[in-house]
Structure 1
Amino acid sequence: MKLASIENKTRDGKLVVVSRDLTKAVDVSQIAPTMQFALDNWINVEEKLKQVYEDLNNGSVSNIIDFNEVKKMAPIPRAYHWADGSAYVTHVELVRKARNAELPESFWTDPLMYMGASDAFIGANDDIEIEDEEWGIDFESEVAVITDDVPAGISPEEAIKHIKFVTIINDVSLRNLIPNELSKQFGFYQSKPWTSFAPVVVSVDELKNEFVDGKLHLPLISILNGKVFGTPNAGIDMTFNFGQLISHAAKTRSLMAGTVIGSGTVANQGSPTGSSCIAEVRCLETIKDGKPSTSYMKFGDTIEIEMKNAAGESLFGKINQKVKKYEKK
């Protein structure tokens, strides 16, 4: 099934079931008013939501909403927990190579992960509002999953069973703020503004041919200022699958329903279209030419991120954002 949250003048929006082709939706607030409510009460609402999804696709429901005409929030507008991994270790290796740094062997066996700001996620068409271009504005095209309750100490194999939904995200980074923060050896904070989500999340059972062994085996398309930037396959070069990432996050504590786990920047090694962020392209340029030539995003720049199935149909809808100067209100 496909779920989304649409604006209703509250912070958590209104939950809707969306048709497979992303054109129609049905208000399901009588079953679950919000995405978080649905996840908290999944055992009671899953079958009811599935039935609405089947009826919507079969054309046997009334009160249909035109999904193209509504204001879409992030499917889960805020979450109790958001952790982003770095599953594509070849990407990390490349970044370190560009600055003549060795990649520790442990990076291939122990995932990198940081906890991000989950108090608010933004919608697929919301502007990326940043105060200063000099902060090094970069997009990061990623895959993400949403879990139910995950017990501490879970194995990677069991962790995969706790994935309820899959989607794609834009995990924006402010590259020029990162070095100072990491030099303090205490992780990201200021350099990671709000993350944006595709319009819908898709249940794992809907992706039985694409989501295999904890990986989503489809190209992730990034279009920067109207030009294709990268099309890496998210199932290739993913060192750690989502089961391993969830297991890593749950090593010492349980994860609550609605936890969002990101893959990190999707990347394919050695591919001319294998990048999903500007920083990686700049690293490739530095290795080749001694310095980068591609600039970070400027005010007015646009980024589109989308994933299509084998039939060319958009799975999650498109992220389509513009970078805008943040004005204090």
Structure 2
Amino acid sequence: MTAMPQSPARHSTSAIGMIVLSALLFATMDAGTKYLSAFMSVVMVLWSRYTLQAGVMTLWVWRKYGVRGFRTGHPGFQLLRGVLLLSISALAFFGLKLLPLAEFTAIVMLSPVLVTAISAWFLNEPVGKVRWLLVCGGFIGTLVVIRPGSGLFGASALVALVTMVAASAYSLLTSRLAALENPHTTQFYTGVIGTVLLAPLLLSQGDALPATFASLSAAQIGLLCALGLIGTTGHLLLIMAFSRMGAASLMPFTYTQIGFAAVMSWMVFRHAPDFWAWVGMGIIAVCGGATAWLGRRR
């Protein structure tokens, strides 16, 4: 019996659900990374995460597709995506040590501005005047968050801005690959590339490795493993969402990560953004929500 194809509305609804869930998972992963940064080096945290992702996806791809599941027709794209994600992860590690979780997330949320701008050219997606105005509004909201005198304006904000540029390129490439490759295959290569690139850096730490891991509590080791599963699931959902809906239409929904990050920042670190930071994040959220509504109506 042949399965009935999904309607466009149901297809887009599932994509929106995936992107919002991935935003929740990414906020959770950032909170866990910020917590672990006090106990472990960036190389240890990232290598553990990518190795777990590589192992999980190897078993999944082998069981579901066999040998053919590991074949890729775009090795260059896969390598570039893996390098971009590893760069984002490393930048986020240092950025989260310098900035509060919610504010860092808000700055990185400038990414939809670049994605919307470039997707009109790179992916040939239509972007109307109203959507451009709303995207510019999100940009203004971000400037309110990192305003001079906030304590965020400076080198720490620069790290977040560089992360945002890398995240924009990663989102566009992920959107492109989603139409070309099996999402499980893509996730497999992302994990393997990160593991291989980090291995020499990990080995260079020598005797510090056993001592560091021995000093971790069972809860911290469990969190380290959980971050690998959370990151794997979040990025898999991101690819699957992009395979169902265009990048320009989906990126505004990533603004929900700001709200998730603000809640976790309070729950885990007891940090609440100040008044103007809330104003800026509110502007970003309203503009993102209105942009999303326009996409759904179209």
TM-score computed with the length of structure 1 as normaliser = 0.24
TM-score computed with the length of structure 2 as normaliser = 0.26
When you count helix as a share of all residues, which structure comes out higher?
Answer: 2
Larger relative contact order, structure 1 or 2 (CA cutoff 8 Å, min sep 6) = 2
When you count strand as a share of all residues, which structure comes out higher?
Answer: 1
